[in-house]
Structure 1
Amino acid sequence: MSLREPDAPVVAPVGRAATAALIRAKRTRRFLEGPIGPTLARLAAPNAIAMLVQAAMSISEAYFAGRMGVTALAGLALVFPLVTLTQALSAGAMGGAISSAIARALGAENTERAAGLVVVAWILGVSIACLSAVLMALFGPTIFGLLGGRGDAVQAALAYAAIFFPGCVSLWMCHSTLSVIRGTGNMFTPALMLVLVSAGSIPLSGAFGLGWGPFPALGISGLALGMVLAYGIGAIAALGYVLSGRAGLSLREGSVRPSPALFADILRVGLSASLNSVLTILTIVLMVGIVARFGEAALAGYGLGARLEFLMIPIIFGIGAAMTSMVGANIGAGKRDRGLAIAWIGSLAAATIVGGVGLLLAFMPDLWLRIFLSPEQAEPLAVGRAYFRTVAPFYFFFGLGLAMYFASQGAGRMMWPVVGSICRILIAIGGALALISLTDLGVQAVFIAIATGMLAYGVVIALAVRATRWR
């Protein structure tokens, strides 16, 4: 049945796989013909919930590390940027590229190409996981030293990394397979699986880390083991879902062969998106180093502001992941104008939500800060208030740029999101260093540079998409 013939008679399917294929075709048709706003909202909600549960998983891990002592907390702080980068690459950068490629293939009604892309996605996931494990084994101490680690903190970070990176193949396989399912238009199943994985990781990490009940107390290594095991179970479930045909893709046909063109289809978008993720993490790491010059109170105040900025990402991802698949399907079907309309509607919605939160906190920063700080902690409170009053009004542009990044993944056009990220890091870092040396604004100079970088990020990407129309 053609996706462009909604009135054609439906032939009774034979078996679960055939039924799933018809459902998948119906989802793709909704991408191509359904009302944009309601479709985006319905697809975005489960993704946002899943990302919030993942945030809870991250918070619980820090709590468990705190129970083990300062050394474990310091070690976790050292390894956290690399764990975050692994998550960002597997779920967002390469994951988005996988969803985009499959959605474009299905939009063009090329199910054989979509099935081939599934196999390629798995090969890439395993390969990248193995590469990261080798790099960490060879250069782990050097990397943690460059991040400022010393002595016991580095040893704790290495203990975590010794479990996490060899086992991160479970994260890559889980996220790659969930991205395959998203590419078919099914957002609920990946979101549900991710919620279960994240929720399961919390007790597993606590049990292996702290030695609950019959479990051994493995310390910080146990935290990594709990996460790896939870994702391993999720990967098996996701693989079973796809291989059973429930995703609506058949992998049993003789034509399913990985080819250089299929690898190029994913890597063309995935490598650019990965660079974008690396630049985002690098920006945060460098800004922490600059703010640290002004003392612990400044670092604490900035850290609380940056933490809220991180929590905005799941909201944007919820809408962005839906846009990646919707835009991809429409680009594949030759409906560029509709793909652009989806991008603008979704991106402006994400920017409005995030911008609204930013404006609220610009006027009432204590709504967030007083969750963590008491009135007696006057100095970090003052720094946090300065951060929100300076930076939070520009959250709109941060949301706009990041949402357009996800939409551009769907279109397979990643040059301008990368340019936007480069502009952001250059302005934020260069501007901060220049203002610190030329003025007596202190840490306020850093916040002005961060806000200007956010403004440039959103404006550059939005104007480029409007001017080029992804051509």
Structure 2
Amino acid sequence: MRLRERAASLFKGPAELNLTSGGIGKPLFYLSLPIVITNLLQTAYNLADTFWLGQFSTEALAAISFAFPMVFLLISLGMGLSVAGSVLVAQHIGAGEESEAEYAASQTVAFATLGSILLGVFGYFAVGPFIAFLGASPEVLPLATGYMQVIAAGMPFMFGFFVFVALMRGYGDTVTPMLVMFGSVVLNIAMDPILIFGFDGNPLFGMLGLRGVEASLLASTGYTGSGITGAAIATVFSRALAFVVGIAVMLQGVRGVMIHPSQMRPDFTYLRRLLDIGLPASVELTGRALSVNLLLLVVGMFPTTVVAAFGIGVRVFSVIFLPAIAVARGVETMTGQNIGAGKPDRAGTAADFAAKAMFVILTALGVVALLAAGPIVAIFTNDPEVISAGRSFLRWVAPSFGFIGVLRAYSGSFRGAGKTLTAAAISVVMLGFIRIPVAYFASLDLGSTGIWLAFPISNVAGALIAYAWYRRGTWRTGSVRRPTPADD
């Protein structure tokens, strides 16, 4: 079988997926698999930065431990709009309302663009004081601030691509965003070591086997790199290219949902509909981001090696939790389309199936992380103190990975039904009232181990709360579709 035929058997477009009838497992798998790969590629941005900056210096590694949660926070503040757009598109598609779906997508792009510009301006001036508030050391603060200011300046491109991914997912097309992301990540990884180290003494040359004349010729250019700022420039440039391609795809309408320039004039009446769904979703996502940032207040009381270990652990979790995040997005789309089609029972079956599957898969990944904690951390650093702290972090959290899968599956179904406030409430309770207080008070007696202990406690509690709330069945009343002035 040729490569193209094999790819076609694994990745199915929306025309080949029936999300509102038939079995549950296969359409959820085909919908979620490209999301897993897209998120894996998305994580590759962060991992590439973490790897190369770990080679640069421990201070640079600690700086992105402060910067990455701040990136997540800025994007989360506006991400509710993309969630709202995805839910509305999914419900309109499930109901057979193509023109209304296109209007929802067009308005989402318009307001997301405006919102991301405001967030970028705010972020550019706020990141320095905020990172200082989190407790960054004098050596780390200017590095983290420089990185974040570049990211903030590129926020419209950073956020715009996430909107493209969300709208296409609501339509049922998860393959196109995966392909666009692939090209963007390849570009980012190629640019990272050059922009960080320059050409003189670049460790990439040794990895590629470049010696003598070749390395000398490159070094003779005089470019010495931009350090941690170079990593930010590589990320923004590659995201900008992905954003342009994504907008072009939607304008042409060749794949997934189509947007129309004539429908992108801001309709502030429609904005209220987006905000009804989007604001609670932003609260949920912002709560997750804030929890990591506030945990840094606790982590920052410990040496830089612990801060670096925390940053590595968060990056590792972002990879391990990819299946749960992807399946949650798949459940969100399936729930939205089935709610739109008037089939809430099928939506509930999809959520239960996903929760069971993710518990098994993530528990297995937790066993792997538990057994290989040291070698995993050592990929990112050769500092023995960082490796020791990171190994301890992974070993404490790994046994609770399966519960994250349960939480994500049911939260995805809440969002797809338009019950974003419910998903937000669970997130706030889990993180704000359980994880952060446990981390602070436990760390007073147990040191950094107390911080690590807060993760499994909150993971288990969050899963139990989500499961109990889902059993109440209030999500079944979640249809949010309304007539739309979708005039072409």
Is the shorter-chain TM-score for this pair beyond 0.5, marking a shared fold? Answer: yes
Q: Report whether the alignment pairs 1:416 with 2:427.
A: no
Structure-2 change in CA distance of 1:321 and 1:253 (3 Å): same
Report the counterpart of residue 238 of structure 2 in structure 1. Answer: 230
Report the counterpart of residue 450 of structure 1 in structure 2. Answer: 455
Greater Cα offset, 330-339 or 155-164: 155-164
Greater Cα offset, 316-325 or 335-344: 316-325
Instruction: Give 1:345's match in structure 2, choosing from 353, 361, 366.
Output: 353
Unaligned regions of 5+ residues in structure 2, if any? 1-11, 200-217, 478-488
Q: Report whether the alignment pairs 1:116 with 2:103.
A: yes
Counterpart secondary structure, 2:140: helix
* CA distance in structure 2 between the aligned counterparts of 1:111 and 1:62, rounded to whole angstroms: 42
* CA distance in structure 2 between the aligned counterparts of 1:389 and 1:220, rounded to whole angstroms: 29
Deviation at 1:456, TM superposition (A): 1.1
* CA distance in structure 2 between the aligned counterparts of 1:106 and 1:368, rounded to whole angstroms: 42
Q: Report whether the alignment pairs 1:406 with 2:412.
A: yes
Q: Report whether the alignment pairs 1:466 with 2:471.
A: yes
Instruction: Give 1:328's match in structure 2, choosing from 336, 340, 349.
Output: 336
Letter of the 1:354 partner, please give it.
L
Report the counterpart of residue 187 of structure 1 in structure 2. Answer: 174
Contact 1:145 1:154 in 2 (8 A): yes
Contact 2:106 2:261 in 1 (8 A): no
* CA distance in structure 1 between the aligned counterparts of 2:420 and 2:457, rounded to whole angstroms: 22
TM-score (norm 1): 0.82
Q: Report whether the alignment pairs 1:210 with 2:197.
A: yes
Greater Cα offset, 448-457 or 306-315: 306-315
1:140-289 matches, within 5 Å, as 140-151=127-138, 153-211=140-198, 217-247=225-255, 249=257, 251=259, 259-260=267-268, 262-289=270-297
Deviation by residue 1:69-126 (Cα, 9 ceiling, x = unmatched): 4554444333222223345566x65433322210111112222221111121112221
Report the counterpart of residue 19 of structure 2 in structure 1. Answer: 31
Deviation at 1:412, TM superposition (A): 0.9
Deviation by residue 1:185-216 (Cα, 9 ceiling, x = unmatched): 11111111112112211223333343456795
* CA distance in structure 1 between the aligned counterparts of 2:35 and 2:44, rounded to whole angstroms: 15
* CA distance in structure 2 between the aligned counterparts of 1:162 and 1:380, rounded to whole angstroms: 29
Counterpart secondary structure, 1:412: coil
Moved over 6 A (4+): 253-257
Report the counterpart of residue 434 of structure 2 in structure 1. Answer: 427
Deviation by residue 1:303-345 (Cα, 9 ceiling, x = unmatched): 5544432222322222122222111111111111111111111
Deviation by residue 1:362-386 (Cα, 9 ceiling, x = unmatched): 4665564565688x959964x6565
TM-score (norm 2): 0.80
Contact 1:112 1:256 in 2 (8 A): no
Deviation at 1:353, TM superposition (A): 1.0
Contact 1:119 1:258 in 2 (8 A): no
Deviation by residue 1:411-438 (Cα, 9 ceiling, x = unmatched): 111223222222222122223444456x
Structure-2 change in CA distance of 1:336 and 1:154 (3 Å): same
Contact 2:308 2:386 in 1 (8 A): no
Q: What's the % identity of the aligned pairs?
A: 23
| Aligned-pair Cα RMSD in Å | 3.2
Instruction: Give 2:317's match in structure 1, choosing from 285, 289, 309.
Output: 309
Contact 2:54 2:380 in 1 (8 A): no
* CA distance in structure 1 between the aligned counterparts of 2:170 and 2:473, rounded to whole angstroms: 25
* CA distance in structure 1 between the aligned counterparts of 2:114 and 2:265, rounded to whole angstroms: 17
Deviation by residue 1:387-443 (Cα, 9 ceiling, x = unmatched): 455432222112211222222221111223222222222122223444456xx5555
Report the counterpart of residue 80 of structure 1 in structure 2. Answer: 68
Contact 1:208 1:215 in 2 (8 A): no
Instruction: Give 1:62's match in structure 2, choosing from 20, 28, 50.
Output: 50
Instruction: Give 1:44's match in structure 2, choosing from 32, 55, 58.
Output: 32
Letter of the 1:131 partner, please give it.
L
Structure-2 change in CA distance of 1:159 and 1:448 (3 Å): closer
Report the counterpart of residue 134 of structure 1 in structure 2. Answer: 121
Contact 1:355 1:396 in 2 (8 A): yes
* CA distance in structure 2 between the aligned counterparts of 1:416 and 1:335, rounded to whole angstroms: 20
Contact 2:335 2:417 in 1 (8 A): yes
Deviation at 1:464, TM superposition (A): 0.5
Contact 1:170 1:232 in 2 (8 A): yes
Structure-2 change in CA distance of 1:467 and 1:32 (3 Å): same
* CA distance in structure 2 between the aligned counterparts of 1:192 and 1:459, rounded to whole angstroms: 36
* CA distance in structure 1 between the aligned counterparts of 2:296 and 2:424, rounded to whole angstroms: 22
Deviation by residue 1:346-371 (Cα, 9 ceiling, x = unmatched): 23222221122224444665564565
Counterpart secondary structure, 2:96: coil
Counterpart secondary structure, 1:33: coil
Contact 1:96 1:321 in 2 (8 A): no
* CA distance in structure 1 between the aligned counterparts of 2:19 and 2:274, rounded to whole angstroms: 21
* CA distance in structure 2 between the aligned counterparts of 1:155 and 1:337, rounded to whole angstroms: 53
Structure-2 change in CA distance of 1:173 and 1:292 (3 Å): closer
Structure-2 change in CA distance of 1:363 and 1:200 (3 Å): closer
Structure-2 change in CA distance of 1:203 and 1:145 (3 Å): same
